[in-house]
Amino acid sequence: MIIVETERLTLRNWRDDDRNLFREINRDEKVMTFFPFRRSHAECDLLFDRNRDMITETGLGFYALADRSTDEAMGFCGLSEVEPPEILPDGSVEIGWRLATRFWGKGYVTEAAEKLLAHGLTTLGLAEIYAFAVHNNERSIAVMRRLGMEHLGDRDFNHPKVPDTHPHLKRHVLYRISAIIPEIRKTRND
């Protein structure tokens, strides 16, 4: 199942031959710097299966981000209902990403996320899409800014799933893009 394509990328559902890449990105110390834990082999497989099933059933989830010419999975970028839901109103959708380090610095996440935001706001008819990250995760925050997302500073929060043993990872910044924002930008550029 292909969700969207860009000039260089395909966002699609996961296949069994993507498992090793999925394990890699969920266990890599650099990729997971802003997460309080690394997943075991079995935990990665469980999450892989759950995510693949969710995409099949709902169309939402963290899609495999693959090279369009080779179909090699490089990471993920997706739209998913916010968990835990107490952060935002029920039914809120977030965009998120994770990429194997060997693919960093090539603009893949921004390219994929731009296409997914357009897909979510137009094709899926979402009124708004959120993104959040640990307050000092400059790489992810830079992507949010490049995407034209708005920082909702008064709604930054302490993530309830981050344990007290990792206080430096609790504080999260919240960003949002609304369906109306692209229309405003288009009008200003005309």
Residues making up the chain, counted from first to last: 190
Residue 65 has pLDDT above 50, yes or no: yes
Query: For position 11, which CATH number holds?
Result: 3.40.630.30
Q: Which residue has the higher pLDDT, 136 or 182?
A: 136
| pLDDT tens, residue by residue, 114-141 | 999 999 999 999 999 999 999 999 999 9
61 φψ region: left (φ > 0), alpha (ψ -120 to 50), beta (else): left
Q: Average pLDDT in the 61-81 region?
A: 97
CA distances from 115 to 4, 78, 85, 123, 181 (A): 7, 10, 25, 11, 15
Residue 86 has pLDDT above 90, yes or no: no
- Residue 43: both structure tokens together: 């935990």
Q: Global pTM?
A: 0.91
H helical segments located in the chain: 19-27, 41-58, 108-118, 138-146, 180-189
Look at the chain and report how many structural domains it folds into.
1
Average pLDDT, the chain: 92
| pLDDT tens, residue by residue, 33-45 | 999 989 999 999 9
Task: Cis check for the bond before 89: say yes or no (omega within 30 of 0).
Answer: no
Q: What percent of the chain has pLDDT over 90?
A: 87
**Which pLDDT value is given to residue 186?**
47
Q: Give CB contacts under 8 A, 24+ apart, made by 43-46.
A: 44/19, 45/19
Residue 1 has pLDDT above 90, yes or no: no
Q: Average pLDDT in the 134-163 region?
A: 96
**Domain ranges, residue 181:** 2-189
Q: How confident is residue 142, by pLDDT bands cut at 50, 70 and 90?
A: very high
